[in-house]
Structure 1
Amino acid sequence: MCITIARLFFVLSAIVSLVTTPASARISRRAGNGKAVVAHFMVGNTYPYGVSDWLRDIQLAASKGIDAFALNLGRDPWQPARIADAFTAAKSAGGNFKLFLSFDMTSLPCVSPGDANLIQQYMANYTTLPTYFVFKGKPLVSTFAGEYCTFGQGGLDAAWNYAIKSRSIPAVNFVPSFFVDPSQYPSLRSVDGAFNWNGAWPMGGNDLDFSSDQGYISNLGGRIYMAPVSPWFFAHYGPNSYNKNWIYRPDNWLFAARWEMLFDHRSAVDIVQIISWNDYGESHYVGPIEGAQPMSESWVNGFDHQGWLDLISYYASAFTAGVYPSIISDRMFLWGRLAPRAANTNDLVGKPTRWDLTEDTVWGVVHLASPALVTIACGTSNISYNLPKGRSKMKLPLTKDCDVTGRIVRGKTVAVDFRPTNYHFTTRPTSYNFNAFVAASVPSRTRADLDCGMGY
């Protein structure tokens, strides 16, 4: 017998609930309870997309516990057609997964009163659709930047009151990402909350803490707080392109540690936004590498990040439900750079700024269905720990050329023998690629676990 009577009752109750409750109602109820997980989506990288491409991304994101995409949109004349396709795909997916508008104000004009017309037209076209993301009773609208916008109205508050609030049909919850001191928010009455974009990464050499979030929460006075979470940041553009060549420090399991931090403070966090689904230029994508890359192929191709998706699924479930899921599958999630930070190459773009703030390390998160001996190795370097059931973290410093492997052993039984393809650390790189290599083992379950089909 794989489960107790009490657990069997729980399973049967859950099945009854799933059968009798429409899927669309389940999603809206989750967001209506005040917790949601969304992902930032760069529409600017979707030039070759059709409805089927959007549908594939939507279905994959939904399967990992993500509730909506924040559609970052700019001025490209082809973007309205892609956004229309996205909403068509969301409808064909059944309407459970939602979308919402996030205006990229580094691209869209916002000086004259007429510049607000495009924003108003987008809201009129989409905010009333069943597939639009509604949070706390109203459609949610966001931005990237926009703190310098005037729309011919003078100050920041007047500008966005004119662009969003004075003419919006229906009324919306406006939750922008303004790059301003949070102390300004008490005077910004046009906003219904804030998205703290830069709170996803440490800005210096220390580990991330909750102080940036707290600065927003303290100044919002109970309005919506959207917190960021991101696994990485590396851009490698030279002066002849975007002139953007730096990293943010991703060490000490940044992605996992940040999720756990948000879980610990979930009473003060309404929405978690993952940065990002497909921003290849900044190396923090978690979805498939597809669409049109923004000249980032040299550091993105061959660095698939989908190994992070099941980690997202685990943490998203915890954040929205308020309790961590039961772990019944052995898993290893491993990631890190493929070359030493101090290595020198002939790369004309040069080393990224802040290169010296990161470590040459394999970062590992381990899920165990029961206690086990866990090893991470690379060549002759290895580290082993007897770990308890549940979630643990491990790390392995790297110094020599080697292939990264992992193993989970119980007694004489090898439960997981993980040998990720192409996870090769080299001391002689040909470029300054500080992107993350990400690998996740296939779930390893006992026969009873497979029969029960519960947990992670």
Structure 2
Amino acid sequence: MWHIATLLVVLNIILLQVDAARIHHPSQHHIHLTHVRQPHHKVVVAHFMVGNTLPYQFLDWVKDIRLASSKGIDAFALNIGSDPWQPDRVADAYRAAKAVSDSKKLLGHISQPFKLFLSFDMNAIPCASASDDNLIRHYVDTYHAHPNQLIYAGQPFYSTFGGEGCTFGAQDLNEGWMNVMKKNSVTGTHFVPSFFIEPARLHNVTAIDGVFSWNSAWPLGNTAITFDYDQQYLSHLSGRTYMAAVSPWFFTHYGKDTYNKNFIYRPDDWLFATRWELLIKQRESIDLAQVITWNDYGESHYVGPIEGAQPNSQAWTDGFDHQGWLDLMHHYIIGFKTGEYPVITRDRIFLWGRLSPAQANTPDPIGKPANYDITRDAVWAVALLPKAAHIKLTCGPSTVTMELPSGCSKLSLPLTQSCSVVAVLYRMKKEVLTFAPKGYTFTENPSNYNFNAFVAASP
């Protein structure tokens, strides 16, 4: 029997929330990919910064969970630190995930319940002494049997950000984590951390059941993204679980008086789309894909709505909504999970890029971000078309026109002077879609160094 309070919560969700668009099942007309479909299902999760949820209420979690689920995301990786208020937010997250699952059951929806798992931020959680494991063990003990806990390979799933320097009072990294995640927990765990160590060292780390390669999401130099970084990890995992990273962007702009982080990773060559295409092509080797991130505003790679508490990142985040990437990601998630891209039923155009030149000079006291000179001034565009069409992409004097086939196509537009971006689709010489996103204006003389991406998606 349900408690009356739980029933009221579920009914409230049904009344307040309109069902978001569910994943469309691909029809018989598929674009078949190179690799053979794997017998085990693929999982897509999104990294979620609990540290940015201080003002969150229960229904904020409900809204985020429903939105993420509608785009094909299976779980949130709850990045947690040591703030005393964070356990309450984690409790709300698990309660919301269960309520959303229960509401879908009431409505007769047959779908997998949305899952959560804990990703321990070891930059914030102490881990030098044996007693430092108390917080982690408390979380494991509390949520290991929750119906919305992610279970992988038959065991509750856990991860980290960092932790390669942790010993918990033991002799070394392996013994320390073995004590925390294997010997002293109330249940078995499937432990897939993000340790920033040389992949060759993984052979000697038996406390882990796999690895999450955080930095596989971006090219770490002046190159396009490849699968080489992933391959280094895969060659040393001996068949253990591999969780690959995918991210659309990276820009952070904190001065020396705060977090002292001011740099970019190279986002060019349609990073988000290109990375997803790599993961789909190599899906035989990948068990889980983690999107970095849902809500890390400070590093500009958020794909969810801007809400909650920003970590003093308003200067480069306000006005830069990234939810257009969610719709584009939905297309690729289906390809990753099924091995077949979905049939495209309507024209969509996705545009993103910076709003000022990389070489511009401004009075911004924080200064230019490191690596500013490895990115091009361009609009990055992806078109999803059910039928072939002619596209014209313009910004001031810069113009690109081409004939695009049905399916997914990528194109770019170099930017040379102040202008506004416009994309037009034609069929039989008639305009079928004109997209001039409000706010997508490139300016040669910015007031500060903002290398965040402006993202726009046609309706």
Secondary structure of the 1:399 match is: coil
Distance, in Å, in 2 between the alignment partners of 1:79 and 1:264 is 38
Q: 1:239 to 1:396 in 2, by over 3 A?
A: same
Q: How well do the aligned residues superpose, as a CA RMSD in angstroms?
A: 1.6
Among residues 271, 275, 282, which one is paired with 1:258 in the alignment?
275
Q: Is 1:79 matched with 2:86?
A: yes
Q: Which residues of structure 2 form unaligned runs of 5+?
A: 1-24, 29-36, 103-112
Question: Is 1:32–1:136's contact at 8 Å kept on the other side of the alignment?
Answer: no
Rounded Cα–Cα distance in structure 2 between residues aligned with 1:44 and 1:153: 29
SS at match of 1:313: helix
Structure 2 contact 27–343 (Cα < 8 Å) conserved? no
Query: Which whole-Å CA distance do the structure 1 matches of 2:163 and 2:279 have between them?
Result: 26
Q: What are the equivalent positions in structure 2 for 1:371-390 lying under 5 Å apart? A: 371-390=388-407
Identity of aligned residues (%): 54
**What amino acid maps onto 1:329 in structure 2?**
R
Structure 2 counterpart of 1:394, from 392, 411, 426 = 411
C-alpha spacing 1:145/1:11, structure 2 compared with 1 (3 Å): closer
Q: CA deviation at 1:413?
A: 2.5
Distance (Å, rounded) in 1 between the aligned partners of 2:271 and 2:352: 11
Matched, 1:94 2:101: yes
What one-letter code is carried by the residue in structure 1 that aligns with 2:68? A
CA distance in 2 between partners of 1:39 and 1:218 (Å) = 25
Contact 1:405 1:418 in 2 (8 A): yes
Aligned mates of 1:252, 1:339 — CA distance in 2: 18
Give 1:63's aligned residue: 70
Q: Is the 8 A contact 1:41 1:69 kept in 2?
A: yes
Q: Deviations over 1:409-436 (max 9, x none)?
A: 1013212100101000000100000000
Aligned to 1:333, the other structure's residue is in SS state: strand
* Deviation digits for residues 222-272 of structure 1 (CA, Å, limit 9, x no counterpart): 100000000000000000000000000000001000000000100000000
* 2: CA distance, partners of 1:248 / 1:65: 26
| Offset from partner CA, 1:371-430 (integer Å, 9 cap, x none) | 100111112211010010001000000011100011111013212100101000000100
Distance in 2 of aligned mates of 1:248 and 1:67? 27
Flag the 1:98–1:109 CA change in 2: closer, same or farther, 3 A.
same
- CA shift, 1:329, in A, is 1.2
Question: Counterparts of 1:327-338 in structure 2 under 5 Å?
Answer: 327-338=344-355
The aligned counterpart of 1:446 is none
3-state SS of 2:236 partner = helix
Aligned to 1:412, which of 423, 429, 438? 429
Structure 1 counterpart of 2:289, from 266, 272, 277 = 272
Pairing 1:440–2:454 present: no
In structure 2, the CA distance between the partners of 1:45 and 1:269, relative to structure 1 (3 Å rule), is same
CA distance in 1, matches of 2:210, 2:293: 20
Residue 361 of structure 2 corresponds to 344
Query: Equivalents in 1 of 2:183, 2:174: separation in Å?
Result: 12
- Residue 49 in structure 1 maps to residue 66 in structure 2: no
User: Does the alignment pair 1:305 with 2:322?
Assistant: yes
> In structure 1, what is the Cα distance between the partners aligned to 2:346 and 2:243?
31
What secondary structure does 1:219 align onto? coil
Distance 1:31 1:117, change over 3 A: farther
Contact 1:32-1:137 at 8 Å conserved across structures? no
- SS of the aligned residue for 1:41 comes to strand
Give 1:10 shift.
9.0
Map of 1:35 onto structure 2: 42
Deviations 1:145-181 (A, max 9, x none): 0000010001110010011110222201000000000
Q: What TM-score results when the alignment is normalised by the length of structure 2?
A: 0.89
AA in 1 matched with 2:447: T
Query: After alignment, is 408-417 or 263-272 more displaced?
Result: 408-417
| Residue 227 (1) aligns with residue 234 (2) | no
Q: Does 1:128 align with 2:145?
A: yes
Match of 1:187 among 191, 195, 204: 204
1:326-380 CA-partner distances (Å, limit 9, x unpaired): 1121110000000000000000000000000000000001111101001111122
- Distance in 2 (CA, whole Å) between partners of 1:271 and 1:237 is 31
Separation (CA, whole Å) in 1 of partners of 2:151 and 2:330: 21
- Dislocated runs of 4+, deviation >2 Å: 9-12, 30-34
Q: 1:210 aligns with which of 227, 234, 237?
A: 227
Distance change >3 Å, CA 47–CA 381, structure 1 → 2: same
Match of 1:426 among 425, 443, 450: 443
Compute the displacement of 1:306 (Å): 0.3
Structure 1 residues 31 and 100: alpha-carbon distance in aligned structure 2, compared to 1, 3 A threshold: farther
Aligned residues: 417
Q: Secondary structure at the match of 2:87?
A: helix
Aligned counterparts of 1:352 and 1:368: Cα–Cα separation in 2: 37
Structure 1 residues not aligned, in runs of 5+? 1-8, 13-29, 443-456
